[in-house]
């Protein structure tokens, strides 16, 4: 029998994720940090990068590829920059440490860059950008990954589906939040669509002959993700690789491991960058918010096509998902429920909200 969709409260899902992580020997603080990132991402409706990732993380933690006792440490730093070694720990642990380091430095100097190397898969890059935006800072977050994305004209992958995200503070309103892969689509969406038996759009994948394919079963062994917007996405993917890995001295392209397919004992050597601008150091927050409000109002007032209420800002749809999740719980889709059921069986954790069969 296929798994059904399940609705669960944010608190209950967070407790389950924390309990599963704690069984690997991960400390309470790091478990809470990771659970918060994964569950918040589900609450936004971005199910490819939420708790669906937990099974793979647990596998790495148990196998030693991700070290439960890892403590991110600053290797080198200046007044407005730092390079951090994630010590092969969970990417959420390293990512939160890195964005908090960037925020602290930006409060002192006006802006800061922090490079994070030798970390685990960071999950949703937008999570860290939103953390900064909630504290009144503009943030840019990038990451790198093992190659899975073709370049224009290539046969086979050249770069990872390197994510880029930004967060813009809007006072008491939800931040403007963009989080995207530099591929035409995140690899997780290909897996999810294929698992659900849904057709793959012809713009998502490049087959082994260098031509578009709709066969999701070919990815990733025989097919590559198409770059977002052709040469433009390729250029942004390269930018992410430079900020995330070249500058801080991390692993590049094929040196990065696959956190999903490598043996559990092997680190994945992911990397990321976090750049933060302190709005209050450069202008008055009131003046910034007034100018931003003018821009937002102008966008919202744009004429729309039939059936469209208004033009949305990046992130508006996701924040509405979160508000609904806070009121009535997160509606987990069947593919996520299946992953969580497998974890419940492995860990002997059987929450009442997760059907056993």
15 phi and psi, to 5 degrees?
A: -60, -40
Residue 307: CB partners within 8 Å, gap ≥ 6? none
Tell me: cis bond preceding 122? Omega within 30 of 0 counts. no
**Cα separation, 137 vs 110, whole angstroms:** 10
* Per-residue model confidence (pLDDT) at position 2: 52
Q: Region 20-31: what's the mean pLDDT?
A: 98
Q: Which of 233, 50, 48 is nearest to 148 (CA)?
A: 233
Model-level pTM?
Answer: 0.95
Residue 40: CB partners within 8 Å, gap ≥ 6? 50, 127, 322
* Per-residue model confidence (pLDDT) at position 1: 43
Q: With beta carbons less than 8 A apart as the criterion, state whether 130 and 252 touch.
A: no
Secondary structure letter of residue 184 according to DSSP: S
Q: With beta carbons less than 8 A apart as the criterion, state whether 125 and 142 touch.
A: yes
**Cα separation, 140 vs 99, whole angstroms:** 10
DSSP letter for each residue of 197-259: TPPPPTTTEE-TTSSEE--GGGTTTT-EEPBTTTHHHHHHHHHHHIIIIITTT---GGGS--T
Q: How far is CA 334 from CA 1, 200, 337, 349, in A?
A: 11, 18, 5, 19
**Cα separation, 95 vs 75, whole angstroms:** 15
Q: Region 137-164: what's the mean pLDDT?
A: 96
Q: What is the pLDDT of residues 282-322, one digit of tens each?
A: 999 999 999 999 999 999 999 999 999 999 999 999 999 99
Hey, which residues does 114 pair with through a beta bridge?
82, 274
For each of the domains in the chain, give its residue range(s) and CATH number, in order of start: 1-63+316-357 (1.10.1530.10), 73-183+227-280 (3.30.1370.60), 285-313 (no CATH)
Residue-level length of the chain: 357
**Cα separation, 278 vs 280, whole angstroms:** 6
List the structure tokens of 283.
């202008």
Residue 217: CB partners within 8 Å, gap ≥ 6? 194
* Per-residue model confidence (pLDDT) at position 3: 63
Q: How far is CA 171 from CA 193, 282, 316, in A?
A: 37, 16, 15
Any idea which residue has 């931040």 for tokens? 175
Long-range residue pairs from 336-340, CB within 8 A, at least 24 positions apart, any chain:
336/42, 336/47, 336/50, 336/51, 336/52, 337/3, 337/4, 337/5, 337/6, 338/3, 339/51, 339/52, 339/54, 339/55, 340/16, 340/51, 340/54
Average pLDDT, the chain: 96
* Per-residue model confidence (pLDDT) at position 187: 80
Radius of gyration (C-alpha) of the chain in whole angstroms: 20
Q: What is the pLDDT of residues 202-255, one digit of tens each?
A: 999 999 999 999 999 999 889 999 999 999 999 999 999 999 999 999 999 999
* Per-residue model confidence (pLDDT) at position 233: 96
On the question of pLDDT at 89 being above 80, the answer is yes
Secondary structure letter of residue 4 according to DSSP: P
**Cα separation, 130 vs 126, whole angstroms:** 6
């Amino acid at each position: 029998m296929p798994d059904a969709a399940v609705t669960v409260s944010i608190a209950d899902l967070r407790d389950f994720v924390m309990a599963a992580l704690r069984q690997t020997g991960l400390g309470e603080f790091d478990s809470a940090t990771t659970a918060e990132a994964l569950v918040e991402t589900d609450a936004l409706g971005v199910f490819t990068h939420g708790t669906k990732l937990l099974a793979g993380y647990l596998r790495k933690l148990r196998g030693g590829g991700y070290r439960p006792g890892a403590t991110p440490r600053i290797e080198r730093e200046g007044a407005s920059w730092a390079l951090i070694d994630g010590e092969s720990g969970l990417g959420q642990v390293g990512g939160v440490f890195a964005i908090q380091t960037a925020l602290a430095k930006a409060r002192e100097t006006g802006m800061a860059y922090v490079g994070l190397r030798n970390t685990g898969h960071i999950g949703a890059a937008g999570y860290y950008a939103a953390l900064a935006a909630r504290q009144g800072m503009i943030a840019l977050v990038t990451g790198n990954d093992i190659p899975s994305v073709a370049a224009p004209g290539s046969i086979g992958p050249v770069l990872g589906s390197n994510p880029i995200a930004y967060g813009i503070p809007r006072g008491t309103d939800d931040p403007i939040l963009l989080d995207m892969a530099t591929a035409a689509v995140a690899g997780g969406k290909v897996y999810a669509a294929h698992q659900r038996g849904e057709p793959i759009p012809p713009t998502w994948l490049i087959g082994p002959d260098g031509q578009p394919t709709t066969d999701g079963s070919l990815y990733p062994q025989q097919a590559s993700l198409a770059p977002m917007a052709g040469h433009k996405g390729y250029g942004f993917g390269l930018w992410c690789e430079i900020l995330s890995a070249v500058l801080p001295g991390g692993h590049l392209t094929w040196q990065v491991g696959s956190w999903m397919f490598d043996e559990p004992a092997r680190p994945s050597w992911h990397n990321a960058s976090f750049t933060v601008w302190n709005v209050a150091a450069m202008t008055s927050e009131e003046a910034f918010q007034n100018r931003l409000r003018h821009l937002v109002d102008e966008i919202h007032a744009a004429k729309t096509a039939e059936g469209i209420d208004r033009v949305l800002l990046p992130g508006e749809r996701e924040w509405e998902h979160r508000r609904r999740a806070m009121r009535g719980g997160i509606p987990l889709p069947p593919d996520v429920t299946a992953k969580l059921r497998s974890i419940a069986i492995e860990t002997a954790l059987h929450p009442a909200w997760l059907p056993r069969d």
